[in-house]
Structure 1
Amino acid sequence: MSKTDRRNYLIGLLPGDGIGRDVVPEACKAVEAAADRFDFSVSWKKFPYGAEHYLKTGEVLPDEALEEMGKCHALLQGAIGDPRVSPGILERGILLKTRFYFDQYVNLRPTLSFPGVPSPLKGGDCVDIAVVRENTEDLYIGLGAASSDGVRMEIGMKRPSYELRGFLNLSVDPVMDMAAQIALATKLGVSRITRYACALARQRGEKEIVLATKSNAVKELYGFWEGIAQEVVSEEGLYLKLINVDALCYQLVKDPSRFGVILCPNLFGDIVSDLLAGIAGGLGLCASANIGDGLSMFEPVHGSAPEIAGTGRANPLAAILSASLMLEHLGEQQASGAVKGAVYMYLRDSSSCELPIELGGSKTTSQVGDAVRSMIEEM
């Protein structure tokens, strides 16, 4: 293949805040090493949006930036959030806005056991679980209000796949402070995320999907979920197992080896995936993908940890594994496997002192990134 015939990918970079700015460059190292190894090229387009940009300009994420992102093949993102900015401004204005604008309805959060990473579970069971989280509905749609004399709000929400309109008028007697938040589930939303979970289960050689639910307490919302998911799973020739989310958390701690693909509404998926991160050894190893039919976005699950930003203490492996998910999504299966395999070999072959600081070692963020890059180059 000539140089002019090489596959080239334009990747948008949104390093974000705190340690996002530390770990995203290490993920880029891994991607570039894999590109050289498997004969494709990558160009980067950096976007400045995050706390620093907001504090300087008052701008969160303009629509023009989303249009520019849409020209990329994928988006690699760091953590968003900063204590100098009120909670929700950046998270809703960047993370959720991006997910909703590009209709990234899948939040894929795989959890794996890695060698050399201790689990808090007594038995040390191996974990290989994929949480498939619905990413655009439930309580995360951003429609709610708080008031001292009732809640009255006009509802207007436009998404690429549908538009929601209406009016909410609530009062309480006697008058007191109150708040209301709207949770939404649509047949479209539940059906498409369930079909994705089915496809993933087949890819993994599994015949069962577990649905995290709570219809015994929230009948209308999660009963609706159960009915549509059961219909889709039956059409796909698989088996659906319903488990209340509280019982699921208990069972995951007792014996995670029983589980494979877990399908979750938005809120439950956020919680269950963090529980699994703790079981597998820490957020510093947990990758995620926000996938839609257009631009998809890849990011580590962990937060921005501003207290250690710039100190070299951040673990870049979750960002590197997120880059592996990105390469897989782009169709670069060998490159994706090489990045993931390099992380595995690094953790397997390193002495305790050669591990990231988060895992009890002494290696800095950039040293860990360099080690993984070297392993990709030497494969």
Structure 2
Amino acid sequence: MAHRVTLIPGDGIGPEIVEAARRVIDASGANIEWEVVEAGEKVMAEYGTPLPDYVLESIKKNKVALKGPMTTPIGTGFRSVNVALRKALDLYANVRPAKSLPGVVTRYENIDLITVRENTEDLYAGVEHMVGDDAAESIKIITRKASQRIVRFAFELARKEGRKKVTAVHKANIMKYTDGLFLAVAREVAAEYPDIEFEDMIVDAMAMKLVQTPEKFDVMVMPNLYGDILSDLCAGLVGGLGVAPGANIGDEYAVFEPVHGSAPKHAGQNRVNPLAEILSGVMMLKHLGEVDAAAKIERALTKVLPNKDMVTYDLGGTAKTSEMADYIIKHL
């Protein structure tokens, strides 16, 4: 039985890298039927919003989506298309793996980390206002419910992936009520998983230790703002945002997308690296249970990435976006 998946090309370089990912996924043998829906800047004139209702309806019907990066136009009523999607679909878990890849040269080797970021509250709730003319105030919201489900999600992911340790990241030494609640809940949930090691780490120390000894960490779970920052740090350990896949997952729906932006200045040039989009597709395949197809793509990447004739300029190569997809397909 085919998996029906919503496909959102996105803005800027989105259509090019999404097409590359779609071709690779189709060639892998995965049984996917795509429902293509347009969102972003290209639909603004017609619908007055970058996120028309039919996009949400498609995802709700299909349960799973693969999307390209989107530009957030100014003055549309919400801060970000991605934030709006997360809120509308209650995609409370942002999952960002960072794994060393053959042929991608970095300062580090053998990195294999997963950042699990709470997606719905913290300072990202956007509850802020001016206090008079000369001060601004933002309210940090941490709830027991959201903390419980994100920490439990991290432990379930660790168990599913055969991981050994979960680290809760916080600043409870200073923010004793908000981060204090998150840490207390993390400790309570950790007690339900005696098979998985648990530790907690203050966020500034975590940033230092990820640079010094990243091999000591495995799955990390944290509130929204820390997750936004540290997941980019982890991407830097393995080559940058161009190789960083991501997923936004809730109890009912899941949307997979690369971490990087839409890079409009490169749009239409067939030159950008599709790897983050392809790896997001690999995450999607695993989510759907298409593990053999996902493994085939990962094996093909180990053959393609070290060959500079087969990869794009930012990876030190000479291939175009579509050509890199061709080479991956050839090595499936």
Q: Same fold (TM over 0.5)?
A: yes
After superposition, the Cα gap between the structure-2 partners of 1:267 and 1:88, relative to the gap in structure 1 and judged at 3 Å, is farther
Matched, 1:24 2:18: yes
Aligned counterparts of 1:254 and 1:89: Cα–Cα separation in 2: 42
SS of residue in 2 equivalent to 1:240: strand
Per the alignment, residue 328 of structure 1 pairs with 286
CA drift at 1:64: 4.4
Aligned counterparts of 2:158 and 2:51: Cα–Cα separation in 1: 36
Runs of 4+ in 1 over 6 A off after TM superposition: none
The residue correspondences of 1:281-320 to structure 2 (distance < 5 A) are 281-320=239-278
SS of residue in 2 equivalent to 1:31: helix
Per the alignment, residue 264 of structure 1 pairs with 222
After superposition, the Cα gap between the structure-2 partners of 1:262 and 1:296, relative to the gap in structure 1 and judged at 3 Å, is same
Q: Is the 8 A contact 1:113 1:128 kept in 2?
A: yes
Residue 328 of structure 2, aligned match among 353, 365, 372: 372
Which deviates more from structure 2 when the two are superposed, residues 295-304 or residues 194-203?
194-203
Aligned counterparts of 1:342 and 1:88: Cα–Cα separation in 2: 41
Matched, 1:86 2:86: no
Per the alignment, residue 151 of structure 2 pairs with 194
Q: Is the 8 A contact 2:310 2:327 kept in 1?
A: no
Matched, 1:9 2:3: yes
Aligned counterparts of 1:184 and 1:340: Cα–Cα separation in 2: 39
For residues 339-368 of structure 1, what are the alpha-carbon distances to aligned partners after superposition, in whole Å with 9 as ceiling and x for unaligned?
Answer: 2222222114x1x34321111111111111
Matched, 1:107 2:101: no
Residue 357 of structure 1, aligned match among 304, 308, 313: 313
TM-score, normalised on structure 2? Answer: 0.94
Runs of 5+ consecutive residues of structure 1 not aligned to the other structure = 1-6, 151-174
Matched, 1:67 2:49: no
Residue 245 of structure 1, aligned match among 203, 210, 214: 203
The residue correspondences of 1:332-343 to structure 2 (distance < 5 A) are 332-343=290-301
CA drift at 1:114: 0.7
Aligned counterparts of 1:245 and 1:66: Cα–Cα separation in 2: 34
Q: Is the 8 A contact 1:313 1:358 kept in 2?
A: no
The residue correspondences of 1:161-176 to structure 2 (distance < 5 A) are 175-176=132-133
Identity of aligned residues (%): 38
CA drift at 1:281: 1.0
CA drift at 1:256: 1.2
For residues 24-59 of structure 1, what are the alpha-carbon distances to aligned partners after superposition, in whole Å with 9 as ceiling and x for unaligned?
Answer: 11110111112xx35x3x222222210122245422
Runs of 5+ consecutive residues of structure 2 not aligned to the other structure = none
Per the alignment, residue 302 of structure 2 pairs with 344
SS of residue in 1 equivalent to 2:177: helix
Cα root mean square deviation, aligned: 1.9
Question: Which structure has the larger Rg?
Answer: 1
SS of residue in 1 equivalent to 2:62: coil
CA drift at 1:91: 5.1
Aligned counterparts of 1:133 and 1:178: Cα–Cα separation in 2: 29
Per the alignment, residue 139 of structure 1 pairs with 123
CA drift at 1:90: 6.6
Structure 1 letter corresponding to 2:109: D
CA drift at 1:89: 5.7
TM-score, normalised on structure 1? Answer: 0.82
